[in-house]
Chains A and B, each alone.
Chain A
């Protein structure tokens, strides 16, 4: 089991563009959470998906949206990119019934120029 996988590894975009990041959860997991980690900060919760629905959302604008597919994989979409969206985006997977033990992926480094 490769654990949580994310693609792409790195991404460079310009202001105003849109980006899609992808995540495959650890085998057997059904819940995916997304976090944004700015340089020198801890990860900040964006949202969480279970049963293809957004279950919880952090303090992020509507420009951030997501999706979960029937195979439990997930996408994070960010529209109208701002310079401040430059960060490491982490995906974490877990088993809904087990609660909060989350396993993290390696992250996608997004740079907005």
Chain B
């Protein structure tokens, strides 16, 4: 069975402070990990995926297979980063996404 856990439902940080969203997963195999973001009144959109190893909007995420984690980080949060963030996983041979429950991030001025 595959499972994604996001332990924090809410995260509040000040503008300019670092932010880290935690994501842990369970999967017997080689998963593909994603972070999706949903800004207010917008649709769910892909932020980044681990295989691309990109930094998007200043965010990075490293897949740690030993700790089965895929935490999302940004060194200096901006007010426009306020949104709902979902960590998601898919198996190596299937295309369905398993999502965590999400973390609401609020960046305060």
Main SS at interface, chain B: strand
Q: Which residues of B contact A90 (CB under 8 A)?
A: 44
Residues in A64-90 with C-beta less than 8 Å from chain B: 90
Residue pair B101, A41 in contact (C-beta under 8 Å): yes
Q: Which residue of B lies closest to A56 (CB)?
A: B96
Q: Which residues of A contact B32 (CB under 8 A)?
A: 99-100
Pick the most buried of A31, A44, A92, A101: most chain B CB atoms within 10 A of its CB: A101
Q: Which residues of A contact B44 (CB under 8 A)?
A: 43, 90, 104
Q: Known: A90-B44, A104-B44, A104-B45. Is A42-B95 also a contact (CB below 8 A)?
A: no
Interface size band for B: 20 to 34
Q: Known: A100-B32, A100-B34, A100-B90. Is A43-B46 also a contact (CB below 8 A)?
A: no
Residues in A10-50 with C-beta less than 8 Å from chain B: 31, 33, 35, 40-45, 48
Residue pair A45, B49 in contact (C-beta under 8 Å): no
Q: Is B43 an interface residue (CB 8 A)?
A: yes
Q: Which residues of B contact A96 (CB under 8 A)?
A: 95
Residues in B18-54 with C-beta less than 8 Å from chain A: 32, 34, 36, 43-46, 49
Q: Known: A45-B97, A58-B96. Is A104-B43 also a contact (CB below 8 A)?
A: yes
Residue pair B97, A43 in contact (C-beta under 8 Å): yes
Residue pair A106, B102 in contact (C-beta under 8 Å): no
Q: Which residues of B contact A111 (CB under 8 A)?
A: none
Q: Which residues of B contact A102 (CB under 8 A)?
A: 46, 95, 97
Q: Which residues of A contact B34 (CB under 8 A)?
A: 100
Extra A-B contacts (5), CB below 8 Å, given A35-B99, A101-B49, A107-B43: A3-B43, A41-B102, A44-B99, A100-B90, A100-B95
- Residues of chain A having any CB pair with chain B under 8 Å: 3-4, 31, 33, 35, 40-45, 48, 55-56, 58, 90, 92, 94, 96, 99-107
- Residues of chain B having any CB pair with chain A under 8 Å: 4, 32, 34, 36, 43-46, 49, 86, 88, 90, 94-102
5 A–B pairs (Cβ distance < 8 Å), ordered by A? A56-B94, A56-B96, A99-B95, A102-B97, A104-B36
